[in-house]
A = this chain, B = another copy of it.
Amino acid sequence: MPVSEFDLIDRYFRRQAAQRDDVVLGIGDDAAVMQVPADRQLVVAMDTLVAGRHFPPQTAAFDIGWKALAVNLSDLAAMGARPAWATLSLTVPAVDEDWLEGFATGFFQLAGQYQVALVGGDTTRGPLSVTVQVHGLVENGKALRRAGARAGQRLFITGTLGDAACALQALRAGHSVAPDRLRRLNRPEPRVDFGLALAGSGAAVIDISDGLLADLGHLLDASQCGATLWIDRLPCAPGPGPAMEPGMLDCQLQGGDDYELCFSLDAGQVGTLSRFARELQLPITEIGVIEAQTGIRCRHEDGRLYTPSGTGFDHFREVVNDQGRPA
C-alpha cells in the first residue's frame, strides 16, 4: 500500500523541536493558531529552495532541511526578531523514507537551537522544492530595516564571506571541497543572536544571501545613500585568502549564500556591539563607510578603485559553472 500524505506528515513532521505555550493549535487542523503577545509585532519571512538552483542536486537531505530553515531564520535575524514558529511546504518527487528522515532531522535540529515550533504546512509530490515561512516576534517598533543608513556611519559585516560560493564553484567543477567550507554552503548559521542584539539600535541591516554587492545595494537603495567598500578588509575564513586564491574576491563580493549580517552603525554604537560580538564568539569586521553619493565604490587600501565582474546572484539568471557555461 502506498504511503499517504497524512501518514508522512504524522511520521516525520509531528515531532516537536520546541514546546511553546504560545502555540494554541499546531499541526493537524485546517490551520494553526498562535498567540502574539500584546507588546510584540509579528515578523514573517518566506523563502523557497529549488533543487539544482539553490542547492546542488547531490546535497544531503539533512543539509536541505537545515538550510531551508536557516535561510529564513537569517531573514528574521536581519530584522532583529526572535524566531517563534515555522510552516513548511515540502514537494518531493517520491516518498523516500530515508530522505524524509534526514530532512526532518536537519530541519528540527536547527529548529531546536532557536526554540522554533513547526505549526503547519503542506506536503505534496512534484519536483524537489522546499518553502519555509518563519514567524518571529519583535518588541513594538524595534524591528530593524534596510532603510536608515546615513552618510558617515561605519559599515560592518558579521563572520566571513565567500566560502559558500567558493564551495559551490568547486562542486560544480567536480573538485573536492574542504569540510569547513562545504559546511558554510550546506549548513549556514543564521546570526539570530546578533540580530537580537542589534534590535532597537536603529542600525540599517540586511542579510547577505545574494552576494555582498547585491544585498548592500538593496540596503543603500532603501537608505538612499551609497558606500565605499574596502575590499582588502573583507573577512574570510582561515586559509590562503583572496590574494592567494583566484576567484575568492569575486565569491566574497558576488557569491551569495553567506547569511551574514551587513549593517551600519554610528561610531558611538560600535563599542557595545563589538563587546556583544565577542561574547558570541562571532567576529564583526568594519568593511566600509556610508556616503551620501549613491552607488558602491570598491577600493583597495591604497585607494585604487576595483571594478567587480558582476553584482550577485539573480534567481532568474542562468546558473553558470566556473567555465561560464550554463551549469
> Do residues A31 and B121 form an inter-chain contact, with CB atoms below 8 A?
no
> Do residues B53 and A87 form an inter-chain contact, with CB atoms below 8 A?
no
Instruction: Give the residues from 119 to 136 in chain A that come closer than 8 angstroms, CB to CB, to chain B.
Output: 119-127, 129, 131, 133, 135-136
Q: Is A287's beta carbon under 8 Å from chain B? A: no
Q: Is A283's beta carbon under 8 Å from chain B? A: no
Partner of A143, one of B24, B53, B76: B24
Q: Which interface class (under 10, 10 to 19, 20 to 34, 35 or more) fits A? A: 35 or more
> Do residues B133 and A46 form an inter-chain contact, with CB atoms below 8 A?
yes
Tell me how far the C-beta of A20 lies from the nearest C-beta in chain B, rounded to whole angstroms: 13
> Do residues B222 and A124 form an inter-chain contact, with CB atoms below 8 A?
no
What residue of chain B has the Cβ atom nearest to residue A92's Cβ? Answer: B316
| Copy count, this protein chain | 2
> Do residues A33 and B41 form an inter-chain contact, with CB atoms below 8 A?
yes
> Do residues B31 and A43 form an inter-chain contact, with CB atoms below 8 A?
yes
Can you give 15 contacting A-B residue pairs, CB < 8 Å?
Answer: A4-B316, A5-B315, A25-B143, A29-B79, A30-B75, A30-B76, A30-B146, A31-B79, A32-B43, A33-B41, A33-B43, A36-B36, A46-B133, A50-B91, A124-B316
Q: Other than the known A25-B145, A29-B222, A30-B75, what 11 A-B pairs have Cβ atoms closer than 8 Å?
A: A2-B314, A5-B316, A28-B146, A32-B45, A34-B44, A44-B135, A46-B133, A48-B91, A122-B131, A123-B316, A133-B133
